[in-house]
């Protein structure tokens, strides 16, 4: 049984190189965007701006990295942004009342993880399609957060805690270190572990995955819990970077995270994509917004440009990816 | 918070709540506000409750669970037309799109007062509101006066196309035109979100080595911009709009120069007052456009009082409060 499983899971070589080709296209896109912006604006290529872009991309990446795993299983988590909002408000309250950032961070991560696990339970035990389960969860979380906050804003956190989101270490912003760490962990997990490969297999063909002995339910629970926990992590970064939390922060976080996953080349149909691709996706989104700010593109055109980039990226992806 | 809990368990709990909240000896005033997320509307609701209590009437709060949702407010209007409260105090979530809703209220012959955002149509007993244009104009004038009429200025806009943003930004720009020494570096969108404002500000600081003043279309964005400035160890005078508690704290600590306020508390008070006066066949004032207040370190004290302790204006004071 184990041998069969192993064989079924080891991806064919052509499959990997396919991913490599896709990554090449994405890096090319990043390079082109950077080249154009560097020509149009003098300050774009400054070290300060590059670090600035990386730090901004990190928040989207944290949310999107966990989401990538969900999408790899052919699922979707629409509740990530609302999860960030609730986790931030809960973690912020804990820090305010206990004065302990460590307790706050743990609570934020736990809150995010529990919400993710509940999503997983709805998807596996209740067999609700993830799109609908997490959409419902989005409303539940919003309702809870609005009620909990009652129109108030939490603000003012300890200086030490604020270092996580705003501090520097050897000239690099701390979120950039976290970004590198989680990019490494995510890539290793997805590409180099049996669990990761099982997740690809579930997305590619859930029936075959189940028949080849993969504990599909447990893996799905894991994937949703990880996605939730990453939302919890994002909530901590948000709190410490913005020094505040309010109920409505989630809405502006979900769609960019989904966009990063899609621009990064992860297929909504499951089984195809990489965490590194998602990082590139988050980078492209951030670069475009950064560039539009630097070039003073009118507020009217910014959402339009972002929308076109998303459509273009997904279209190019489908066009360049050989159907197998 | 108790009231909002009802909205979580829509609609059964709500029906039960109505049944117990209606009092035989007082009028029932249905108060419509736009969302549970903006602290401004919390002040409106507390003002309305406060006035109703003074006049021995009762309020019912209608708040869309999804912020500013047009379909949700429409269906709440349908509910209210069936329930027939004595009168309605109404803030449209969208000044144009809600006109059919107002017409439904008119058809049902329920008296209605318009507050905050002026409806594009329908018949109202009276309008109590303020003027976003003068709010933008006065706050920007104050900033430019502080800067001595010159300097490099950045505008951070709210949601493009929303009435509040259009008028506030128009006010900002007109104040800039009065000061030929001031230079507008950029006018970029922050969508009323602090994270977006923070990132916009970080990006703008990359290409502009000198920024002297920031005009933000709401307080959350102003605070986001301040976080960005602090993070880069740079200083600029920043103004916001709404007079939130967070903004008052920032004014006290000298981080925020000023915040524009159009007194949601008084709007709630006066809207409810006019509705009840009309029911009791007392004279009402057809239109009160409240003068904006620029809250600064010299006059923040009255805005620093907890909402519960604030006192509604009397009818005699009301007639002197506004410009006609």
- Residue-wise pLDDT tens digits, B14-69: 444 444 444 345 899 999 999 887 778 888 999 999 999 999 999 999 999 888 89
- Identify the CA nearest to A251 among candidates B96, B191, B47, B175: B191
Instruction: With a cut of 60, say whether residue A322 has pLDDT above it.
Output: no
What does the angle CA B12 – CA A111 – CA A69 come to, to the nearest 5 degrees? 105
pLDDT for the residue numbered A9: 54
pLDDT for the residue numbered A269: 87
Q: CA B17, CA B19: separation in Å to the nearest integer?
A: 5
Q: Which two structure tokens, joined as six digits, stand for B53?
A: 């209590």
Q: Which residues of B touch A300 (CB under 8 A)?
A: 160
| CA closest to A289 among chain B residues | B200
Q: Does A163 touch chain B (CB under 8 A)?
A: no
pLDDT for the residue numbered B6: 40
Which residue of A143, A292, A299 is in closest CB contact with B7? A143
Q: Which two structure tokens, joined as six digits, stand for A58?
A: 């990190």
Q: What is the pLDDT of residues A229-255, one digit of tens each?
A: 999 999 999 999 999 998 888 888 999
Q: Which residues of A touch B68 (CB under 8 A)?
A: none
| CA closest to A238 among chain B residues | B195
Q: Which residues of B touch A147 (CB under 8 A)?
A: 1, 4-5, 7-8, 36
pLDDT for the residue numbered A16: 55
Interchain proximity A143–B220, CB inside 8 Å:
no
Q: CA A57, CA A284: separation in Å to the nearest integer?
A: 9
Which residue of B37, B185, B224 is in closest CB contact with A247? B37
Which residue of A143, A238, A290 is in closest CB contact with B195? A238
Q: Which residues of B touch A42 (CB under 8 A)?
A: 207
- Give the Å distances, CA to CA, from B36 to A132, A225, B68, B246: 24, 29, 9, 17
Which residues are within 8 A (CB) of A215 and not within 5 positions of it... i.e. 6 or more apart?
none
pLDDT for the residue numbered A17: 67
pLDDT class for B294, splitting at 50, 70, 90? very high
Q: CA B35, CA B117: separation in Å to the nearest integer?
A: 13
What does the angle CA A61 – CA A144 – CA B157 come to, to the nearest 5 degrees? 55
Question: Mean pLDDT in chain B?
Answer: 88
- Tell me phi and psi for residue B11, to 5 degrees: -105, -5
Interchain proximity B157–A246, CB inside 8 Å:
no
Interchain proximity B207–A42, CB inside 8 Å:
yes
pLDDT for the residue numbered B306: 82
Q: Which two structure tokens, joined as six digits, stand for A239?
A: 């709190």
- Identify the CA nearest to A276 among candidates A289, A291, A263, A287: A263
| CA closest to B2 among chain A residues | A147
Residue with tokens 């939490």, as numbered in its chain: A154
- Tell me phi and psi for residue B294, to 5 degrees: -95, 110
pLDDT for the residue numbered B177: 95
Which residue of A143, A243, A251 is in closest CB contact with B65? A143
pLDDT class for B297, splitting at 50, 70, 90? very high
Chain A interface mutation, best of B14, B184, B194, B232, highest count of A Cβ atoms under 10 Å: B194
The lowest-confidence range among A69-78, B154-163, B303-312 is B303-312
Q: Which residues of B touch A292 (CB under 8 A)?
A: 188
CB A226 within 8 A of CB A190: no
> Percent of chain A scored above 70 by pLDDT?
93
pLDDT for the residue numbered A301: 87
H-type helices in chain A, by residue range? 2-9, 13-40, 47-72, 80-98, 101-124, 130-149, 159-166, 174-192, 194-204, 206-211, 216-242, 251-263, 275-294, 302-320
Q: CA A34, CA A26: separation in Å to the nearest integer?
A: 12
Chain A nearest-CA distance from B227, in A, is 7
CB A35 within 8 A of CB A44: no
Instruction: With a cut of 50, say whether residue A78 has pLDDT above it.
Output: yes
**Strands laid side by side in the B182-189 sheet:** B182-189, B151-157, B213-216, B237-241, B258-261, B293-295
Q: Which residues of B touch A289 (CB under 8 A)?
A: 199, 203
Q: Which residues of A touch B189 (CB under 8 A)?
A: 299, 302
Q: What is the pLDDT of residues A259-306, one digit of tens each?
A: 999 999 898 888 888 999 999 999 999 999 999 999 989 888 888 888
Which residues, numbered 206 to 245 in chain A, qualify as contacts with chain B under a Cβ-Cβ cut-off of 8 Å?
238, 241-244
pLDDT for the residue numbered A316: 79
Q: Which residues of B touch A242 (CB under 8 A)?
A: 194-195, 198, 224, 227
Hey, is B289 helix, strand or coil? Answer: strand
């Amino acid at each position: 049984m184990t041998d069969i499983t192993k064989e079924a899971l080891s991806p064919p070589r052509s499959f990997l190189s396919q991913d490599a080709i896709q990554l090449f296209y994405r890096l090319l896109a990043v390079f082109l965007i950077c080249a154009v912006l560097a020509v149009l604006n003098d300050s774009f290529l400054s070290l300060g701006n590059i670090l600035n872009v990386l730090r901004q991309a990190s928040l989207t990446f944290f949310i999107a990295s966990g989401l990538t795993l969900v999408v790899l299983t052919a699922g979707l988590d629409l509740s990530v942004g609302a999860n960030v909002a609730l986790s931030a408000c809960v973690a912020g309250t804990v820090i305010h009342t206990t004065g302990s950032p460590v307790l706050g961070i743990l609570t934020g991560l736990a809150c995010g993880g529990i919400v993710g696990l509940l999503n997983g339970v709805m998807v596996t035990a209740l067999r609700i399609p993830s799109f609908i389960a997490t959409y419902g969860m989005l409303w539940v979380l919003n309702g809870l957060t609005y009620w909990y906050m009652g129109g108030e804003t939490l603000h003012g956190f300890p200086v030490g805690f604020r270092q996580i989101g705003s501090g520097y270490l050897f000239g690099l912003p701390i979120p950039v270190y976290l970004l590198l760490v989680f990019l490494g962990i995510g890539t290793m997990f997805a590409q180099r572990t049996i669990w990761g490969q099982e997740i690809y297999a579930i997305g590619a063909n859930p029936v075959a995955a189940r028949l080849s002995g993969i504990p599909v339910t447990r893996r799905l629970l894991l994937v949703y819990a990880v996605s939730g926990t990453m939302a919890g992590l994002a909530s901590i970064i948000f709190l410490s970077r913005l020094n505040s939390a309010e109920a409505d922060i989630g809405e502006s976080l979900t769609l960019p995270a989904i966009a990063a996953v899609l621009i990064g080349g992860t297929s909504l149909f499951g089984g195809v994509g990489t965490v590194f691709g998602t990082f590139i996706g988050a980078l492209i989104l951030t670069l475009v917004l950064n560039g539009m700010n630097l070039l003073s593109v009118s507020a009217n055109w910014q959402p339009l440009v972002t929308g076109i980039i998303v459509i273009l990226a997904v279209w190019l992806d489908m066009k360049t990816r050989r159907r197998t | 918070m108790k009231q909002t809990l009802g909205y979580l368990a829509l609609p059964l709990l709500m029906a039960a709540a109505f049944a117990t909240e209606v009092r035989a000896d007082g009028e029932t005033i249905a108060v419509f506000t736009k969302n549970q997320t903006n602290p401004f509307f919390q002040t409106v609701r507390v003002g309305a409750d406060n006035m109703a209590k003074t006049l021995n009437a009762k309020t019912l709060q209608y708040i869309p669970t999804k912020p500013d949702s047009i379909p949700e407010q429409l269906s709440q209007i349908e509910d209210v037309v069936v329930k027939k409260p004595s009168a309605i105090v109404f803030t449209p979530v969208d000044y144009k799109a809600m006109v059919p809703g107002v017409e439904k209220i008119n058809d049902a012959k329920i008296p209605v007062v318009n507050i905050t955002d002026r409806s594009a149509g329908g018949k109202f007993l009276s309008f109590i509101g303020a003027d976003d244009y003068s709010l933008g104009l006065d706050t920007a004038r104050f900033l430019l006066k502080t800067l001595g009429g010159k300097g490099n200025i950045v505008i951070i806009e709210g949601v493009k196309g929303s009435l509040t943003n259009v008028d506030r930004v128009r006010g900002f720009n007109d104040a800039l035109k009065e000061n030929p020494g001031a230079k507008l570096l950029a006018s970029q969108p922050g969508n009323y979100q602090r994270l977006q404002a923070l990132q916009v500000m970080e990006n703008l600081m990359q290409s502009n080595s000198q920024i002297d003043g920031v005009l933000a279309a709401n307080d959350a964005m102003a605070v986001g911009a301040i976080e960005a400035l602090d993070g880069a160890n740079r200083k600029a005078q920043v103004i916001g709009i709404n007079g939130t508690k967070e903004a008052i704290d920032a004014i006290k600590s000298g981080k925020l120069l000023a915040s524009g306020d159009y007194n949601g508390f008084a709007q709630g008070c006066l809207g409810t007052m006019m509705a009840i006066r009309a029911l009791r066949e007392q004279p009402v004032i057809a239109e009160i456009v409240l003068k904006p207040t620029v809250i600064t370190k010299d006059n923040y004290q009255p805005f620093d009082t907890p909402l519960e302790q604030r006192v509604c204006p009397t009818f005699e004071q009301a007639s002197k409060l506004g410009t006609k």
